[in-house]
Structures are given as C-alpha cells and as structure tokens.
Amino acid sequence: MNKLTASNIVAFIKQLNHSNTFNYINPKTKGLIKIISIDGAEGPIRIKRWNPSKGETEKDKKIESISSELIWRIANSFAIDYPINFDRILGGSYNTRSVLEALLAHTPQFYFCYPGRIENTGGNTKIKSGHKHLLWLPDKPHKNGVIQEIKTEKVVSEIPSLDVIYDSIVLPVYDNKTKIDLEIKRRHSQIQVALYFIGRQLNFSTWIAQGDKGIVYQDKKIGEYEGVVYSLNEVAQMSAFEGAVKAALHIDCIWFKNGKLLPAVMEVEHSTGVTSGLSRMKDLYNCIPGTKTRYVIVASDDDREDVFKKARKEQFKELDVKYFSYSAVEELFSLCKRRKLKGVTDEFLDCFMEPVLMN
C-alpha cells in the first residue's frame, strides 16, 4: 500500500483501545482525548477532550467530531517516509486537527519527528530547527497505543501551496426538464476546464461533451478554445469504428494525441452518476475494440470509495478503470500552469491516477 485513504486512517484508529485516554504529542499540552465512537468506514470519529490541569472532566465536555472531509485531506497528503505538518496542510482550519494528529500518532505506522527547516535569508541558506511533523512508515511499526518519536535527517523546504484559481464560469442554459444542482454543475465544469488546460499543456486535442461546449470561461465558450475537437467525425480514432462517434458524444472529456493515440477517456462524476458514466465508457469500449487508452472516472476525493465499489463490478472490469481525484486534477493543473510542462509522455498521467483494480 503506497497511498492512504480515509478508510485506512479510520481503520488504524479503530484498533486503539477506546477505553483509554490519549495524550497530545506535545507534552506541554496537558489535555486528554477519548474516542467515543466511529461512524462508518470513513468516519466521522466522535471524541471528547478535556484538560484535567484546569479542573475539567470528561463529563463536563460535549462530543465533537473529526469529519470525513478532514480525514480525507490528511489521507491525501501522506506518502511513505514523507513528513507532513498538519497545520500547514490544513491552513489552520478544522479545530480537531490536533486531535486527529495525536490519535494517528498512537497507531503503529505513524511517528512524530522534527525535520530540519531550510530557511533562505538574503541569499543565504541555513538549516534551522523544524516544526513537528508526522511520518508514515508502514514497514516499521511501533507498539499500538503509544506515541513514538523518530529521529530524521530529512529537511523541509516550505514552498508556497499550489492553489488553483478559476475565473468565473457561465453555464449553458439547460432544458427545464433537466433537474440539476447548479453548484454541482459548476464544479463539474471547473474540472472540465482544468482537464482541457492539462491536455493543452501536454499537446493533446480535447473533446468536451456535446452539451457542455457552451460553457463560457474567460469570456469565451470552451468549445471555441484552440485544441478543442469540434466534431468527432473529424477524428480518425473515432470515425474508423462504427458507432464510436455516437457512443462518445456525451462523454465529458476525451484526449487525443497525434491523430493516432487516445491517452484517456474521462467521465467527471459525483457519486450518484458514477454508474451512468461507467456505462457510457463501456459502450465506447465495445465500439473501439483493441484501442489502447485509459478509462478514467474523475470524482471528488470524498467519492473515492463509491467510485471503487461501482467500478469493480463485473460488467466494468474490462475497462480497468483509473480514478483521478479532484485534488489530483488540480495538483496537475496547478503544475501545468506554473511550470509549463514540456517533453513529458502521457505515461506521466499515471502518477496522478489510481488504478481501481488491484493486481
């Protein structure tokens, strides 16, 4: 396992003795934590916290929640042997972040450490004492229920966060018969815009679903941007196969390369639409036998478990689906905007997509 999910983190914390109380990592913080309950595979985790040195007791305190959203944000930040700082990742948000950090530190695969911090001042670089980080070491577990520090020679260079900023999006006028949450559609459109710009940076031509070409971004319809495919009949990878053009017409995004290759077929979905997106891709798969591509569900980080559950159903196994989380899309989008990537192959995409079927 090279990547964590919210369900992994919740499973680790479930193994702690819920009858015990737990300390914070910093010994100067005198509070205690107790797990009250855990709801569902991805949380939330219900806890109480109090400070005996201030005369507080468990009975005095209300139950608080560590949300699934918080757990997912932390899960997506971990990589093996890569120290992370909760406050930096979360930007000071979530008032239970230190509780989650403490509970996770009590589980066997996590250590706390103080990597050095690179500081640049007036052109001079110095290594200074660092802040508290958590380190995930799955191959070096410690005893369950205790906090353990690990010494590290790692140093951290604190670069600015990779924020993604979208200009305003004007949505097409939808048929009154179409019941759709406009905020969901706006988020869907933002991701389509990001996918277009990623494709453009990698020298792909991009198909945007027929009904979405009227999205207006930066005062211009997305269908009018350079590199957007006007008609699938003009694309050899589609027109060569009977029924392929019709099957691909409403697929959210397809990347084409050099008139020969098909780097990815992508459906941008929320949990309620995953099966319909998979079905559209399966229809296209049946029309273009033997064509090498990636069939990708692009969905929010919170919907990961639902994507995996549905994409693993027997009727979709042939697709060998990849999962492209919104956070991974925006990480790559930010990288493309900042660094103007050149010379990378489309295999570079596999660093950002997670295979649904495990070998």
Q: 51 versus 338: which is more confidently predicted?
A: 51
Interatomic CA distance for residues 349 and 108, integer angstroms: 32
Q: Whose structure tokens read 């205790």? A: 146
Q: Are residues 147 and 177 in the same domain?
A: no
- The pLDDT value given to residue 121: 65
Q: Are residues 203 and 305 in the same domain?
A: yes
- pLDDT bin (cut points 50, 70, 90) of residue 313 is very high
- The pLDDT value given to residue 123: 57
The share of the chain scoring above pLDDT 90, in percent, equals 62
- The pLDDT value given to residue 222: 94
Q: Are residues 235 and 265 in the same domain?
A: yes
- The pLDDT value given to residue 174: 60
- The pLDDT value given to residue 182: 74
Average pLDDT over every residue of 121-133: 74
Interatomic CA distance for residues 261 and 242, integer angstroms: 18
First-residue to last-residue Cα distance in the chain: 12
Tokens of 355: 């295979």
Q: Of the candidates 156, 188, 215, which is a domain's last residue?
A: 156
Residues 6+ apart with CB under 8 A from 124: none
E-assigned strand segments in 300-341: 322-325
Q: Are residues 72 and 22 in the same domain?
A: yes
Mean pLDDT taken over the chain: 89
> Does some domain include residue 162?
no
Average pLDDT over every residue of 67-96: 87
> Does some domain include residue 164?
no
Q: Of the candidates 132, 156, 180, which is a domain's last residue?
A: 156
Q: Is 70 exposed, middle or buried (0-12, 13-18, 19+ CB in 10 A)?
A: buried
For the chain, what is the domain count?
2
- The pLDDT value given to residue 76: 87
Q: Is 231 exposed, middle or buried (0-12, 13-18, 19+ CB in 10 A)?
A: exposed
> Does some domain include residue 235?
yes
Q: Of the candidates 156, 187, 211, which is a domain's last residue?
A: 156
What's the distance, CA 302 to chain centroid?
8
Interatomic CA distance for residues 72 and 302, integer angstroms: 7
Average pLDDT over every residue of 9-29: 95
Q: Are residues 193 and 66 in the same domain?
A: no
The CATH number of the domain holding residue 220 is 3.40.91
pLDDT tens per residue, range 143-166? 999 999 999 888 877 666 567 778
Q: Which residue range forms the structural domain that includes residue 73?
A: 6-156
Q: Are residues 176 and 135 in the same domain?
A: no
